[in-house]
Structure 1
Amino acid sequence: MLSNLKKRNIIILIDDYIPYSSKIAAKMMHELAYELVKRENQVTVVTPYNNLKKYCVIEYIDNIEIVRFKLGKIKNCSFIKRTINESLMPFKAWFYTKKYLENKKYNLIISYSPSIFWGLFTIKIKNKFQCSVYLILRDFFPQWIIDIGIIKDNTFIAKYFRFIEKINYKSADIIGIQSPRNIDYFKQIFGEQYNTKLLFNWINPKIETKDINFKKNNGLDEKVLFFYGGNIGKAQDTKKLVKLSQRLQHKSTAHFVFLGQGDEFFIIKKLVKRNKINNITILPKVSQKKFNAILKEVDIGMFSLNKNHKSHNFPGKILGYMVNSIPILGIVNPNNDLKDIIEEYNAGFVSINGEDDILYKNALTLLKNKLLRKQLGINSNRLLHKKFTVYSAIDEILNNQG
């Protein structure tokens, strides 16, 4: 096995990237690329963007080479439109970038899924460069959209997605999966035909931000801030957290902030308005710098997962909470090992989706006890440094390359 100090030429594939995205995946992969460059590797990120005037544009961010190719919208658009454009993605990636990439030489491909549609492009460049592929697998698509009822199993579209999914897996030499139980779940479906490794989510533990006086500017100085930041969709079931805020309206010190984007963003806004819930602020997505600045003033960091998930997702948003020593209040699907990890390190309270009274009790406990919030926040930061740093992720990826 080669040392991870060996200098490599690395190509990263991701369907969403900074500065045009504020999503966790884009942030995680930029931090990964940046740390790889700091270790004297050459890194090229290949990513689509819908608002390009040319078919292919080259730019540089933090000494990372970004190759953007033109593709129709695949985020915040209809399911049909997204499916069509993602299906075209591997073909457009090849035709629009091949002139630029043909004179390059790469030792390693790091592909991020979702999207599952990189597989054909990955195979093409893998064969061209005769290099290995590390697939970072963060959710099991299409299984999760079947689990929560967006599509039905054994339909044409489900079979199509599964066909594409298998191509993506077959393109990889190693598949990095985000939790032990997710590895077990993956093997229940696919057996031992793929080489899987444990790869936790990650974040740079050293984030510098400026004060923006978020609480003061929003009249929340005296409030205990319950914060949810990230995707707002069916997979998250954020309605459960809205219902929690409704139950806590009688507590004048409690205030909830929901910040993000997603399929149910406007549904949540309508729900709050219809029920006249007065302790919630709902904000659209902001820049990553502003997001990090807001986190500095958060008292309790929240996350939620749909109860029908069969896999064990690890929401990337909690990494931001951990960096800022914020105690965690979460809702998970049954048997999700994230609950065990957070409770083992005493970093917060996690309940099963549907245990509404336990969630309410946990929220009350955090609301009332400032010293407890402080201690749980310290513990959450310790958990981050133990398992979830970008340094650990890079060591895991590079140490598994032959």
Structure 2
Amino acid sequence: MRVLFLTLAYPEGENSRNLYVDLMQEFYARGNEVYVICQREKRYEKETELNEETGIQVLRVRTGNVTKTGFIEKGISTLLIETQFKKAIKKYFKHIKFDLVIYSTPPITFVKTVEYIKKRDKSKTYLLLKDIFPQNAVDLGIIKEKSLIGQYFRAKEKKLYGISDHIGCMSKANVDYVISHNPEVDTAKVEICPNSINPLALSVISPWKKSELREKFNIPDKSVLYVYGGNLGKPQGIDFLIEVLKLIKEMKNIFLLIVGSGTEFDKINKYLVESKQTNVRLEKYMLKNEFDEILTIADVGLVFLDSRFTIPNFPSRMNSYMEFALPILAATDVNTDINKMFQDANCGLWSQSGDLKGFEKNLAVLNENEKLRTDMGMNGRLYLEANFTVDKSYNIIVSH
């Protein structure tokens, strides 16, 4: 089978990986011919380029800046993507017929690209729904629901659902949300296709290496290490994260390492500079293999989401924490079903974003009980292996 995957999140560079790289590698390993089209943002100052990467044909199309930028530039760049991708397909894949087109959100503006391939090749289409837009932006007050731009993107969203033969959602709450808010969508084509990876084998890090890494990042040997990795933008509810930083400022046996970038990075950095807090370190960028090393010495993984969300987010970062057998401490909105997964797997503790006392209570439980951290972390790893691996996602997608 010849497969085309459209996405905004396909990392560039040797040994780079994320859930989409792992999924496409699974398709390739199963004997499929795999093509990927992804964006190459103009900030990198590189042109459109087609290369073979670990057996997969990857076309990186020069686009505007879509990530880590302001809403206006992101919006314009997002609107242009479907035209840019369609043009690239006509130039580079003109004579290649695709049997299956898979595409992820964000963005919702792949409509024209998917329509073009579906009509040209009579392809099957599968949407990996990772982002419910524009409602997430409405929730955060970025756009107004009844505004022209809000109605435009909502129409795009509905059309994307309409042209998709199947829609794979991250969790049961996502399935329920799509069905209840889009009654025109055939419920039979909406299913769970969770965030999934090909987990690395668990490794035991030597005391010497652990000490070396802690020393490199000025992490005290006796401190329980909490790690947050990922985007630092409005969806993460950064104001509450800063309240958490204030909460732990005088705690002697806690260290928090934040690794990520985004529109709210400077806000966190400004707080840390002004407060002179010593048990928090903020890193803007870290190579994937370096971050993985950090996860081998970490004790707890952190997840933050803004309390205003009405859509059920399910951050893929949790897969990384579970891969490295870390318990998860989460503060999110009430509409996500993260907490249900925590209960099913017994792999983490949840509180509502904004509930500082609830967060403090969960923090104390994990901080004071090493055995509980170890047990929850291993529970998460086992749950990941049973439910969130790419072979399972592959089977779901190709079963139709």
Q: Name the TM-score class by shorter chain.
A: over 0.9
Q: Deviations over 1:202-261 (max 9, x none)?
A: 111125889684212123132211110001111111332332232223321101111011
How far apart, in 2, do the equivalents of 1:22 and 1:274 lie?
37
How far apart, in 2, do the equivalents of 1:394 and 1:180 lie?
18
* CA shift for structure 1 position 361: 1.0
Q: Deviations over 1:321-376 (max 9, x none)?
A: 10000011001211421101112221011111222111101111111111111111
Q: Is 1:214–2:227 an aligned residue pair?
A: no
Pick from 16, 31, 38: which aligns with 2:9?
Answer: 16
Report the counterpart of residue 150 of structure 1 in structure 2.
142
Query: TM-score, normalising length from structure 1?
Result: 0.92
Counterpart code for 2:347: A
Report the counterpart of residue 125 of structure 2 in structure 1.
133
Report the counterpart of residue 204 of structure 1 in structure 2.
198
Q: Deviations over 1:42-61 (max 9, x none)?
A: 10001121348786411111
Counterpart code for 1:11: L
Report the counterpart of residue 40 of structure 1 in structure 2.
31
Q: What does residue range 281-320 of structure 1 map to in structure 2 within 5 Å?
A: 281-320=281-320
Moved more, 223-232 or 92-101: 92-101
Q: What does residue range 88-107 of structure 1 map to in structure 2 within 5 Å?
A: 88-107=80-99
Are 2:306 and 2:333, in contact at CA under 8 Å, matched by a contact in 1? yes
How far apart, in 2, do the equivalents of 1:22 and 1:247 lie?
37
Q: What does residue range 48-197 of structure 1 map to in structure 2 within 5 Å?
A: 48-51=39-42, 56-194=48-186, 195-197=189-191
Counterpart code for 1:271: Y
Report the counterpart of residue 5 of structure 1 in structure 2.
none
Q: 1:96 to 1:345 in 2, by over 3 A?
A: closer
Counterpart code for 2:6: L
Are 2:140 and 2:309, in contact at CA under 8 Å, matched by a contact in 1? yes
Q: 1:255 to 1:21 in 2, by over 3 A?
A: farther
Q: 1:207 to 1:109 in 2, by over 3 A?
A: farther
How far apart, in 2, do the equivalents of 1:38 and 1:360 lie?
45
Query: Relative contact order: is structure 1 or structure 2 higher (C-alpha 8 Å, sep ≥ 6)?
Result: 1
Are 1:69 and 1:97, in contact at CA under 8 Å, matched by a contact in 2? no
Moved more, 245-254 or 32-41: 245-254
Q: What does residue range 219-368 of structure 1 map to in structure 2 within 5 Å?
A: 219-220=218-219, 221-368=221-368
* CA shift for structure 1 position 147: 0.6
Counterpart code for 2:25: Y
* CA shift for structure 1 position 191: 1.3
Q: Deviations over 1:70-118 (max 9, x none)?
A: 2122122221112112211111112233132111121100001111111
How far apart, in 1, do the equivalents of 2:143 and 2:342 lie?
32
How far apart, in 1, do the equivalents of 2:192 and 2:9 lie?
23
* CA shift for structure 1 position 19: 1.4
Report the counterpart of residue 31 of structure 1 in structure 2.
22
Counterpart code for 1:342: F
Q: Identify unmatched segments of 5+ residues in structure 1.
A: 1-7
Q: Is 1:372–2:372 an aligned residue pair?
A: yes
How far apart, in 2, do the equivalents of 1:30 and 1:243 lie?
35
How far apart, in 2, do the equivalents of 1:317 and 1:245 lie?
20
Are 1:119 and 1:169, in contact at CA under 8 Å, matched by a contact in 2? no
How far apart, in 1, do the equivalents of 2:214 and 2:64 lie?
38
Q: 1:204 to 1:79 in 2, by over 3 A?
A: same
User: How many residues align structurally?
Assistant: 391
Are 1:22 and 1:286, in contact at CA under 8 Å, matched by a contact in 2? no
How far apart, in 2, do the equivalents of 1:169 and 1:382 lie?
33
Are 2:162 and 2:185, in contact at CA under 8 Å, matched by a contact in 1? no
* CA shift for structure 1 position 311: 1.1
Counterpart code for 2:253: T
Are 2:86 and 2:112, in contact at CA under 8 Å, matched by a contact in 1? no
How far apart, in 2, do the equivalents of 1:127 and 1:181 lie?
32
How far apart, in 2, do the equivalents of 1:354 and 1:88 lie?
37
* CA shift for structure 1 position 286: 1.5
- Counting aligned pairs with the same residue, the percent is 28
How far apart, in 2, do the equivalents of 1:94 and 1:126 lie?
12
How far apart, in 2, do the equivalents of 1:22 and 1:163 lie?
38
Are 1:233 and 1:262, in contact at CA under 8 Å, matched by a contact in 2? yes
How far apart, in 2, do the equivalents of 1:34 and 1:359 lie?
38
How far apart, in 2, do the equivalents of 1:22 and 1:160 lie?
39
How far apart, in 2, do the equivalents of 1:323 and 1:54 lie?
33
What is the Cα-based RMSD across aligned positions, in Å? 2.1
Counterpart code for 1:272: L
How far apart, in 2, do the equivalents of 1:316 and 1:332 lie?
14
How far apart, in 1, do the equivalents of 2:237 and 2:52 lie?
37
How far apart, in 2, do the equivalents of 1:376 and 1:238 lie?
26
Counterpart code for 2:323: V
Q: Deviations over 1:155-188 (max 9, x none)?
A: 1111121122222222210011111111111112
